[in-house]
Amino acid sequence: MNASVPRPVSVLTIAGSDSGGGAGIQADLKTFAAHDIHGLSAIAALTAQHTRGVTAVHAPPVTFLQAQIDACFDDFEIRAVKIGMLATADIVHAVADALDAQPGAAVVLDPVMIATSGAKLLDDDALDALRTRLVPRATVLTPNIPEAELLLGRPIVDAAAADVALEALRGLGARGVLLKGGHLDEGDTVVDRYADPATRFAHRGPRLAVDGHGTGCTLSSAIAARIARGEAPADACRAAIDYVHAAMRAAYRPGRGDVSVLGHLAPRTR
């Protein structure tokens, strides 16, 4: 590249790797590409998985995760960081320490805490570290209903409870919160609720008959990419929801399982 040409904007994902290519780091990088963003990655966990499940998980040493993050910030113009699965309290603290040294980067935190089976993915120490170290650093926090219940320590059973939970989540310190509504029964409509100091909205869309893999990863990555491009967080969230819906309509089944992988590059956004 000519030295006079500005460096492209980059977004860093700190998350787990999905060897099946549908979620995690792989979904994040596809989403960044669809938004014409240079994607960087720091792998916090390695998984052996496919469309039928996860067969093994390996967490690299925390010092190696720190080295990945430091290498990225040392060489690239990182305007936003997307955070996904962080398996242990030590990993959460390491990521928080790294971000403390980079106060200018926006942070989109997808608090991956519940497996598809319903199993809790974080121990109590890691959950507490996430709640106290990373949630207050988030430009946008993107929990689904079960994750919000864990963060708040109470059930969210209907639309009224979701409205209350949205403000309670903001009370944990995140500047903006997008509470995803896919797990809440509101008929044929999915309601995603957003609030920050200046904006509040409810995005209503049809419930698609697609068992999509990696939708949360894709949504949070799209938000981070759009914030890096200069969009306000509320606008980035609206557009990212639409992007995910388009990617779900373009979903396909590359494996033998019932889940579909999103068509990340179908809704290209320039």
Whether 212 has a pLDDT exceeding 90, the answer reads no
Is 104 domain-assigned? yes
What confidence score (pLDDT) does residue 52 get?
A: 87
Is 132 domain-assigned? yes
Quick one: pLDDT band at residue 12, thresholds 50, 70, 90?
A: very high
Is 4 domain-assigned? no
User: What does the chain come to in residues?
Assistant: 270
Is 269 domain-assigned? no
Residue 140's alpha-carbon distances to 5, 81, 143, 161, 260, in angstroms, are: 31, 11, 10, 20, 27
Is 266 domain-assigned? no
Positive or negative torsion for Cα 133, 17, 242, 235: positive
Whether 119 has a pLDDT exceeding 60, the answer reads no
Is 1 domain-assigned? no
Helix pair angle (89-100, 62-75), 10° resolution: 20
* DSSP state at residue 136: G
State the Rg of the chain over Cα. 17
Mean pLDDT of the chain: 91
Quick one: pLDDT band at residue 5, thresholds 50, 70, 90?
A: low
Q: Which helix (H) or strand (E) holds 38?
A: strand 38-50
**How many domains in the chain?**
1
Which residues face 188 on adjacent strands?
Answer: 186
What confidence score (pLDDT) does residue 222 get?
A: 98
Is 3 domain-assigned? no
Over residues 229-270, the pLDDT tens digits come to 999 999 999 999 999 999 989 989 999 988 889 999 987 765
Strand order in the sheet with 176-179: 53-58, 38-50, 10-18, 78-83, 106-109, 140-141, 176-179, 189-195, 200-206
Among the listed residues 177, 117, 119, the one whose alpha carbon sits nearest the alpha carbon of residue 148? 177
3-state secondary structure of 179: strand
CATH number of the domain that residue 175 is part of: 3.40.1190.20
**Interior/surface letters 57-78, b for 16+ CB within 10 angstroms, e for the rest:** eebbebeebbebbeebbeebeb
Is 169 domain-assigned? yes
Structural domain harbouring 18? 10-261
User: How confident is the model over 106-111, as a mean pLDDT?
Assistant: 97
User: How confident is the model over 107-131, as a mean pLDDT?
Assistant: 80
Q: Tokens 């925390």 belong to which residue?
A: 62
Dist CA 21 CA 265 (whole Å): 13
- pTM higher than the cut 0.75: yes
Among the listed residues 157, 159, 177, 180, the one whose alpha carbon sits nearest the alpha carbon of residue 169? 177
Whether 1 has a pLDDT exceeding 60, the answer reads no
